[in-house]
Amino acid sequence: MYSREDIDRVRAATNLVDLVGAVTTVKRSGRSYSAVCPFHQEKTPSLSLDPIRGLYHCFGCGKGGDVYTFVQETQGLDFNEAVEFLARQAGIQIESDPGASRRRGEHEELVEAVRQAVRFYQKTLRSSPEAGHARAYLRGRGLGAEAVDQYEIGYAPETDSWDALVRTFRTEGIKDSIMMGAGLAKRGRGGKLFDVFRDRLLFPIHDLRGDPVGFGGRTLSERGPKYLNSADSRIYQKSRLLYGLNRAKGDIARTQEAVVVEGYFDVIAVNQAGVNTAVATCGTALGEDHFDLLRRFTDRVVLVFDSDQAGAGAALRGDTLRTPVDLDFDLRVADLPGGMDPADLVQAGRNDDLAKAITDSRPLLQFRIEKEVRRHRITEPEGRARAIRNTSRLISRVSDPIARSEYVRFAAKEIGVDTAIIENALRGQAASPGPGRGEVEEASLDPIQAELIRVLLANPKELSEIDLDRTWVHDQLADLIEVIEVARQGAPAGSPISLDGLPHQELVQRLAFDTRPLPANPIEVIQRAEGKAIERQIKAIEIELLALDPASQEYSERLRRLLGLQERRRGHE
């Protein structure tokens, strides 16, 4: 597409060190440069850079090439798109053949559509009368015009036709396929194209090179989920993106610390407090792909969540992620005061408290052990025994023998027992098989569902007329509810049912032999479980409605179902 002269001109104008430094940590030693390789997991830099010839090579994974290869590999572009990208960065005008516009890469078209959507939503927020409540909401969150412009926050209007963006884009010649491919519009069952985002504050999400690739939308009404993110597409994969990383990557590499917060408002608030290393996930739990991304810049990550979220438990879904030692990360938790989140602290003028919490952060596993010990009355034999069992489960997931030994000593000191007792508990953990595929651990089970199962196993007389519903628990335990229902029919009311033959034996036995007193009112347990189930169903239908044509019969049926569930919910309030 482009002439050899233009390609060579762009290559000569591109600084390889700056290019690589935009996505990973570069270190200089004399005349040579090295970097942490972005193509495989490593801690010690093995990517060698030759800025004179504009070439790189990794002695760890073997990847290598020139500036164009690097852009293609790290940004997911083809060669012509890489030439265009570097030419824009260098401020060089390049000539293409007459058919170039028709053959532009789909990637760039999708990004450009999102970029234009950012401008559309920004303009709507600034000047549209119907965005008045959105502007008021932002003021209430402590965000003035300067911050709104800096973070390119916008507002998606809610018109009767649900197609404000679609109509605007069509007048500008943007194809329907590009709108849908960029996650900006969907086609209803009746064939009509409508906007994905309506009556929402929108936070543009950028990739590492700074291109907008999607949105996080915060609802301003009671309809739909509180936050709605762009659907995964060619340019947007939520498991490989972190909100704010395009801005924070330089400061993260310089300070060698990343701060992970829960949401978009928190990122902005932490930045306003003078901490410029804050990032957030885009509507998903913090996973290993996110750590692979952060590893390019630092190996120290501080999780900053409100104290009610128990730090890492909410973000990491801790039992599904490898331990910090296995991840080769210094993964820490900042314990915020008073159940406040970062945005609350900053808005209250408590920037110093936020900074202190980050400075005083503790290693993730230490934090979890301390929290687990506090859950139990360790002055009593049974409480101490439960603390020993549960902390040993946490420690058992540490594969590094040195780290495991250190945590054994730490847990023993916290509980007030000899290390040999923790080591014996660890040996017991190793001897008993862990949960199999599809098994559910008690630590990750909703407390209401756990209490429900305890009550059902006890089979109190008060529940003799109650028909069990499998929706009261999540899908993995639905078979347990069905088997308990059959067992109850053959057991006298008031007599515990036999545990023989029940699925999820490890979980069932732990709950059945739990020494805590059973709830005084079993009916209330049923009602709470049913209420939670109704909430889950309501959220699921709200999400389904977003993808349906409002004029379709299926939409009407789902809406009737939603209204019925909302009526049931009011009955539980």
Query: Is residue 36 pLDDT above 50, yes or no?
Result: yes
Query: Is residue 334 pLDDT above 80, yes or no?
Result: yes
**Which is it for strands 330-335 and 300-305: parallel, antiparallel or unpaired?**
parallel
pLDDT at 327: 63
Average pLDDT value for residue range 533-546 = 79
Query: What's the pLDDT band for 323 if we cut at 50, 70, 90?
Result: low
Q: What dihedral angle (degrees, nearest 10) is formed by the CA atoms of 211, 216, 221, 225?
A: 150
DSSP label of 498: P
Query: Is residue 570 pLDDT above 80, yes or no?
Result: no
5 or 150, which is more confident: 150
Query: Is residue 329 pLDDT above 60, yes or no?
Result: yes
Query: Is residue 51 pLDDT above 90, yes or no?
Result: no
pLDDT at 101: 47
Q: Tokens 């980050």 appear where?
A: 358
CA distance 290 to 245: 11
37 or 96, which is more confident: 37
Instruction: With beta carbons less than 8 A apart as the criterion, state whether 136 and 264 touch.
Output: no
Per residue in 241-289, pLDDT (tens digit) is 999 999 998 888 888 899 999 899 999 999 999 999 999 988 777 777 8
CA distance 368 to 436: 24
**Could you write out the DSSP letters of every residue in 186-204?**
EE-TTS-EEES--SEEEEE
Query: Chain-wide mean pLDDT for the chain?
Result: 84
Cα 366–Cα 369–Cα 372 angle in degrees, nearest 5: 150
pLDDT at 381: 83
- Percent of the chain residues past pLDDT 70, beyond the cut: 89
Average pLDDT value for residue range 376-386 = 87
pLDDT at 515: 67
Query: Is residue 320 pLDDT above 60, yes or no?
Result: no
DSSP label of 163: -
Query: Is residue 438 pLDDT above 70, yes or no?
Result: no
CA distance 303 to 301: 6
Query: What's the pLDDT band for 321 if we cut at 50, 70, 90?
Result: very low
Query: What's the pLDDT band for 222 if we cut at 50, 70, 90?
Result: confident
pLDDT at 432: 52
Report which listed range, 47-61, 317-331, 516-530, is most confident. 47-61
Query: Is residue 13 pLDDT above 70, yes or no?
Result: yes
Per residue in 149-200, pLDDT (tens digit) is 999 999 999 887 789 999 999 999 999 999 999 999 999 878 899 999 999 9
Report which listed range, 181-185, 223-227, 366-370, 391-395, is most confident. 181-185
Per residue in 439-495, pLDDT (tens digit) is 444 444 678 888 888 888 888 888 877 877 777 887 667 778 878 887 877 777 778
Query: Is residue 433 pLDDT above 60, yes or no?
Result: no
Amino acid at 92: I
Q: Tokens 């169903």 appear where?
A: 537
Query: Is residue 104 pLDDT above 60, yes or no?
Result: no
Instruction: Specify the length of the chain in residues.
Output: 573
- Mean pLDDT is lowest, of 7-11, 238-242, 426-430, 500-504, for 426-430
